């Protein structure tokens, strides 16, 4: 009798709860078996009993974050590099300076070639008069008309002019290497701007798909709340998540616009050109096995290092030329001409001509030449130290770039695993929430982690490619 009473009590107490649980389970099963989206808010009351799709259905159909946008001209990294090398004004400046330095070589070499000057003179004066003031010359002012040619040829200055020519030639080669270094700078700047814009583009697309997914969650939770299946707290959490996604979309759009402006500047244009950035279809190349091999390559072909070495060679040759200022200078002189009009008293033949050699010997110049030679020696030593400093900096930069690229390669695999785990966690959190086994807080956290993982995975890819571009630049092997 006592057991029968207990059975009746449990039946009356637990019976209604069991029936309510069956209804909830039946409704949740209907949710799982139907993928139809809920209608808009004005029709919710009339169709509140229809089953709802999974809360993360929008995320399962979200576009690939690495896929390019559908608007704008398509642009690959190789095309961007070509545009940068064609339009960036720094390229023109470097090439013009290199051409100007080549003209300096011709200017210096002209001292080895003969100088030929033509003269045509006519004078009307008092016969046999002299200049009375202004000079110690015994020139005569005579009525005459004449024409002639003067020739001046350097015979030798004991190596000074050839050393000046060699110094200017080395400077011209250094200018060419500096022009090549500028090209590599532009290529690196284009690559970094391109991958930065790609990263911003991927982040923007993730943000837009996140807004779409959370908007669907908010609509579905609002419908469940209107049907008294979820509380207003769940609706508030869904609205907060949607607002956060919209803020992420705004920030991502701003970052993308700024990255595109930076890319346009590097490409040498002032227009706000919008591009559809396309990444390389092939997977990124692996990092070199060791930094030492990259360092050896950089020390052989870095154009800025080659330019500094050529500048040091030019300083050495210029120093020799400054020392050779103390040597004599031997030149050959010649003149020839005619005097068709003039007094027969003074211009017996109607032509003239002479040839000679001049030797100029510096005796005392106030220690100017010695000071100039000492200055050139010190500058040559300074340029040699600059080369050593650049070598040390190249070794450091190559090691740093290699370590950064190697770390970025490892981050790619880690972020890929993180994204896979975040997707799994989001699916589990969504299932648990729909079955009423967890709160919306757990679902919101899973959504946030999945968004962050998706952005991190996209960024890791482009960070690695940017680090590879920096490593190529440090090794001097840019295309």
- At 130-166, the pLDDT tens digits run 666 656 555 567 788 999 999 999 999 999 999 999 9
Give yes or no for residue 66 having a pLDDT over 80.
no
pLDDT at 474: 93
**Lowest-pLDDT range of 37-51, 106-120, 164-178, 396-410:** 37-51
Report the topology of domain 65-475.
Answer: Outer membrane efflux proteins (OEP) (1.20.1600)
pLDDT of 6 above 60: no
Residue 118 to residue 14: CA distance in whole angstroms: 126
Q: What is the rounded average pLDDT of the residues 305-326?
A: 96
Is a pLDDT exceeding 60 seen at residue 1?
no
The tens digit of pLDDT for each residue in 233-242 reads 888 888 999 9
Mean per-residue pLDDT for 86-93?
Answer: 93
- Note the pLDDT of residue 127: 67
pLDDT tier, 229 (very low <50, low <70, confident <90, very high otherwise): confident
pLDDT for 347: 78
| 115 touches 290 (CB < 8 A) | no
Helix (H) or strand (E) holding 369: helix 368-434
Least confident of 319-328, 418-427, 429-438: 429-438
Answer yes or no: is pLDDT of 209 > 50: yes
User: How much is the mean pLDDT over the chain?
Assistant: 83
The domain ranges of the chain are 65-475
Between 3 and 398, name the one with better pLDDT: 398
Nearest to 225 by CA among 52, 11, 403, 431: 52
What pLDDT score does 19 carry?
42
Which tops the pLDDT comparison, 66 or 49? Answer: 66
Instruction: Report pTM.
Output: 0.76
- Mean pLDDT in residue range 22-45: 36
- Residues 6+ positions from 33 with CB-CB distance below 8 Å: 51
DSSP letter (8 states) at residue 55: T
Mean local confidence (pLDDT), 346-368: 89
* Rounded Cα gap, residues 201 and 206, in angstroms: 9
Lowest mean pLDDT, pick from 58-72, 142-156, 222-236, 340-354: 58-72
- pLDDT of 64 over the 80 cut: no
Q: CA 353 to CA 84: how far, in whole Å?
A: 62
Is the predicted pLDDT of residue 80 greater than 90, yes or no?
Answer: yes
Q: State residue 54's pLDDT score.
A: 52
Q: What is the mean pLDDT of residues 444-459?
A: 91
pLDDT over 60 (residue 220): yes
Who has greater pLDDT, 435 or 262? Answer: 262
pLDDT over 90, % of the chain = 61
Give the pLDDT score at 473: 94
Which residues lie closer than 8 Å to 438 by C-beta, 6 or more apart? 429, 432
Q: Do 226 and 44 touch, CB atoms closer than 8 A?
A: yes
Percent share of the chain, pLDDT over 70: 82
Token pair belonging to 129: 């008069």
The residues facing 116 across adjacent strands are: 151
Amino acid 228: pLDDT = 84
């Amino acid at each position: 009798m006592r057991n029968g009473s207990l059975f009746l009590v449990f039946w009356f107490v637990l019976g209604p709860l069991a029936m309510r649980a069956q209804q909830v389970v039946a409704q949740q099963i209907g949710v799982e078996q139907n993928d139809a989206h809920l209608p808009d808010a004005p029709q919710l009351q009339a169709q509140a009993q229809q089953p709802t799709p999974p809360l993360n259905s929008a995320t399962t159909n979200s576009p690939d974050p690495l896929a390019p946008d559908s608007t704008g001209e398509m642009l690959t990294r190789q095309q961007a590099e070509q545009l940068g090398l064609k339009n960036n004004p720094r390229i023109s400046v470097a090439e013009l300076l290199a051409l100007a330095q080549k003209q300096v070589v011709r200017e210096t070499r002209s001292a080895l070639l003969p100088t030929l000057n033509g003269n045509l003179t006519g004078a009307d004066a008092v016969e046999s008069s002299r200049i009375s003031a202004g000079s110690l010359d015994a020139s005569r002012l005579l009525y005459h008309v004449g024409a002639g040619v003067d020739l001046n040829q350097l015979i030798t200055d004991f190596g000074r002019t050839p050393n000046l020519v060699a110094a200017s030639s080395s400077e011209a080669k250094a200018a060419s290497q500096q022009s090549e270094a500028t090209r590599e700078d532009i290529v690196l700047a284009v690559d970094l701007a391109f991958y930065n814009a790609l990263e911003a583009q991927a982040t923007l697309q993730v943000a837009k798909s996140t807004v779409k997914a959370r908007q669907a969650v908010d609509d579905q939770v609002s419908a469940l709340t209107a049907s008294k299946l979820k509380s207003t707290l769940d609706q508030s959490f869904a609205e907060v998540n949607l607002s956060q996604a919209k803020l992420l979309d705004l920030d991502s759009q701003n970052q993308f616009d700024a990255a595109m402006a930076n890319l346009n500047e590097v490409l040498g244009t002032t227009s706000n050109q919008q591009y559809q950035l396309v990444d390389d279809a092939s997977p990124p190349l692996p990092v070199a096995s060791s930094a030492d091999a990259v360092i050896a390559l950089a020390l052989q072909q870095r154009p800025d290092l080659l330019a500094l070495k050529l500048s040091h060679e030019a300083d050495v040759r210029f120093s020799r030329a400054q020392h050779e200022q103390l040597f004599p200078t031997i030149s050959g002189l010649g003149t020839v001409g005619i005097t068709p009009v003039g007094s027969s008293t003074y211009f017996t033949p109607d032509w003239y001509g002479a040839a000679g050699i001049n030797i100029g010997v510096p005796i005392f110049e106030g220690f100017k030449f010695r000071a100039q030679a000492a200055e050139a020696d010190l500058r040559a030593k300074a340029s040699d130290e600059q080369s050593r400093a650049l070598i040390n900096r190249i070794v450091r930069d190559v090691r740093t770039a290699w370590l950064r690229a190697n770390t970025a390669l490892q981050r790619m695999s880690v972020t890929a695993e993180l994204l896979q785990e975040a997707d799994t966690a989001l699916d589990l959190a969504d299932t648990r929430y729909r079955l009423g086994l967890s709160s919306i807080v757990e679902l919101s956290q899973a959504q946030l982690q999945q968004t962050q993982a998706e952005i991190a995975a996209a960024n890791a890819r482009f960070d690695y490619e940017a680090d590879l571009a920096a490593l190529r630049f440090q090794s001097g092997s840019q295309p």
